[in-house]
Structure 1
Amino acid sequence: MQTDGASGLSILIVLAFIIFTSPYFSKILRIPIAPIEIILGSIAGYLGLIGYNDIFHIVSEVGFFYLMFLAGTEVDLRLFFTIDKKILKAGIVYILILYLLSALLTFGFDLNRLFILIIPIMAVGMIFTLFKEYGREEEWLNIGMLIASIGEVISIILLTFVGAYMKFGAGSELLFSIIYLVGFLIFSMIGFKILNVLFWWYPQLKVILMPYYDNSERDIRLCMALFFSIIALMLYLNLEIAFGAFVAGTFIASFFDHKKDLPHKLASFGFGFLVPTFFVYIGSTFKLNAFMIDGVVKDAALIVGVMIGFRIISSFVFLNILGFKQMILYALSHSMPLTLLIAVATIAHKSNNISENFYFSFILASLTQAIIVTIGIKIIMGYKNKSLKT
């Protein structure tokens, strides 16, 4: 464990270099910034410029949680009550097909039962970064975020159960995890209903909590208070912190929409420091010499192919709604569950449910998906924009 001052100084210097230069590398290579930060982090780790450091690890985790919080600020919970029933039905069928295909593959090839959970896994963190690239007017991206929000809730619920089972077995700890998770979901729904009624009767409360003009930055302070409070609660309940951070973000989006500049203010800080730190850390955890281990690249390629392929197949339920090009873009947007895929792989490896080689394959697959998918979306969007101009 590297926690000495020299390693900390090296990490700070490398972080400063990557955070500053990644937008320029992105422009030159025409690759989105997130994969660039992951690649540079991996190279820095391989060269020994970045090692494990407690503070670096903690800041990167906060960056991940903050990314999930920002993703939540893009999801207004009220939309779930007004969403087009046709889109909602298609989204549910899409998720069911994903799990069905995963189950058929798992039992057909006698794979580890974890694949039923891993292949359909969804995460909104990387989808949120696409909003920075393509804006909020793209239909495929808005629907993708909405359905991914539902898919992530399902994924995290299953991950909580499976993680508790692998860690504690079928005992009281698993039962408590289920009770705490169900209790948190019920508490969140009740809180939403109460705040919805409260702000309907007393709309001025919103302005008191988040004034339109305020030199004290009370809007940011309230967001940070909510962010850290939910982390503390999830730590106390031993539940998935990322899920709590996402839910907290949705409350900001649902009840404080009068602050039009708030998402921009929150994102400016996140994407300028915390989120890049997380991506650099993720890159540094992957050892480039894993490419030389027999079977790692092959298994990673299969995982990538299956996860992307199954999403494209399942997304055909949106063909009449989005059209072919937007349908492919929708499927690709769901094909980079970077954070949750790494989380599942880590839990499975620590509980000895998968080998170290398979663990490296999952890490490589998660990084490869993020790079391939973001480049693929950029190419398709480029063709789409050219066709619109002509």
Structure 2
Amino acid sequence: MFLAGMEVDLKQLTSSSKDVIQKSIIFISLMAFISISLGMIFRLNAITIISMPLISIGLLASLSKTYGKEQPWIKLAFIAGILGEIISIAALTVLDAASSTGFNVSLIIKIGYLLLFILAVYIIYRLLHLLFWWFPEIKSILVPKVDTSDQDIRLAMALFFILIAVMFSFELELALGSFIAGIAISAFFHHEKKLEEKISSIGFGFLIPIFFIHVGASFDLNSLMVEGVVTGAILITVLMLMSRILAAVVLKKITKAKDALLIALSLSMPLTLLVAVATIGYETQWIDLLSYYQLILASIFEIIISMTVIKILNANKKEED
């Protein structure tokens, strides 16, 4: 989530045309509507229905490394993905709070904490923006150009753990703190490409593979023999892919049809959020073990299918060019 936040370019987002922002919001809204409608038609449980519209740009960040950030579909996917991820993390935070407090006054208080936290982050961002505008030399003090002691890494990790501690103290979703920490580094130190390279190398090269290994290792292969696990996972996968592909029709007005399909596929891999929701649902007994395995397996299927189709479509694009 921290690495995903670092991929967020606030300048690109705020400077995007009104039409692009509007179409991105329509895409997210339409995708959520189709996902929820399909979930209700097939009588899926509430946690699965909540999981289906989730968007995460974690693997989109990995795609940007492979195909380049300057690809038009990558840029548009980030704009829609950032908006979708913010909404998804907020929904995950509310779900996490509800799992520990229930649907009562305590939940309203926690949502209040969440809104106050977001407001505080915005105010601090505006103040720091003004501070760095009037005193740009502060950036050089925090992240010196000639750095022999890796001060930039220390600053990034300090900010990461501070926001994690804040989220932990308010009992809010830690993923939100990680994501905001990454955005802060990207917003104020976007010019420091070496910092991004250092963190990305250890993140994409070491930590993210460990996460995938953990997800794979925690999945019981014997569950594949349980009736309903594979068929349920395939159904969830098909519905999630279908909702995004159908919603991507609105993006054809601002980009090519093939790029719209690539955007839909690149935003069909919310592995981290799906695992989080499935875990919360199972631990609170809102879903049974069968539904838990269905969600985990569906998240794996989505990655395999989406990554494969994206690779094929990009290969065809190169041949056409």
Alignment match, 1:353: 286
Find the counterpart in structure 1 of residue 153 from structure 2.
Answer: 220
2:183 is equivalent to residue 250 of structure 1: yes
**In the alignment, is the contact (CA less than 8 A) between 1:93 and 1:317 conserved in 2?**
yes
Matches within 5 A, 1:1-16: none
Separation (CA, whole Å) in 2 of partners of 1:282 and 1:113? 23
> Within 5 A, what are the aligned runs for 1:233-312?
233-312=166-245
For residue 274 of structure 1, report the CA deviation from its aligned partner: 1.6
* Structure 1 residue 111: Cα displacement: 3.2
Q: Which amino acid aligns with 2:5?
A: G
The residue aligned with 2:131 is 198
Shift of 1:321: 1.6
Aligned to 2:116: 183
1:160 to 74, 93, 108: 93
Structure of larger gyration radius: 1
**Structure 1 residue 363 corresponds to structure 2 residue 311:** no
Partner AA of 1:376 in structure 2: V
Aligned length: 321
Bigger drift between 220-229 and 265-274 goes to 265-274
Q: Does 1:73 align with 2:12?
A: no
For the 8 Å contact 1:102–1:115, the answer to whether it is kept is: no
Instruction: Check the 8 A contact 1:76/1:251 in 2, yes or no.
Output: no
Give deviations 1:271-315, integer Å, cap 9, x for gaps.
232221111111101111111100110000000000001100001
Between 232-241 and 172-181, the greater mean CA deviation after superposition: 172-181
Moved more, 161-170 or 223-232: 161-170
Letter in 2 for 1:125: G
Gaps of 5+ in 2: none
Structure 2 equivalent of residue 106 of structure 1: 39
- Does 2:277 correspond to 1:344? yes
> Any residues of structure 2 matched to 1:326-341 within 5 Å, and which?
326-341=259-274
When the two chains are superposed, the root-mean-square deviation of aligned CA atoms in Å is 1.4
Q: For 1:130-167, what per-residue CA distance to the aligned partner results, in whole angstroms no more than 9, with x for missing partners? A: 12211211111121122111111111211222232233
* Unaligned residue ranges in structure 1 (runs of 5+): 1-67
| Whole-angstrom distance in 1 between the partners of 2:62 and 2:191 | 23
Paired-residue identity, %: 41
- For 1:169, which of 97, 102, 108 is the aligned residue? 102
CA distance in 1, matches of 2:4, 2:250: 25
Of 112-121 and 317-326, more deviation after overlay is shown by 112-121
Query: Is 1:91 aligned to residue 43 of structure 2?
Result: no
Matches of 2:36 and 2:249, distance apart in 1: 19
Q: What is the aligned partner in structure 2 of residue 124 from structure 1?
A: 57
1:383 pairs with 2:316: yes
Establish whether residue 150 from structure 1 lines up as the match of residue 83 from structure 2: yes
CA positional deviation for 1:224: 1.0
Tell me which of 252, 257, 260 is aligned to 1:324. 257
The letter of the residue matching 1:140 is: W
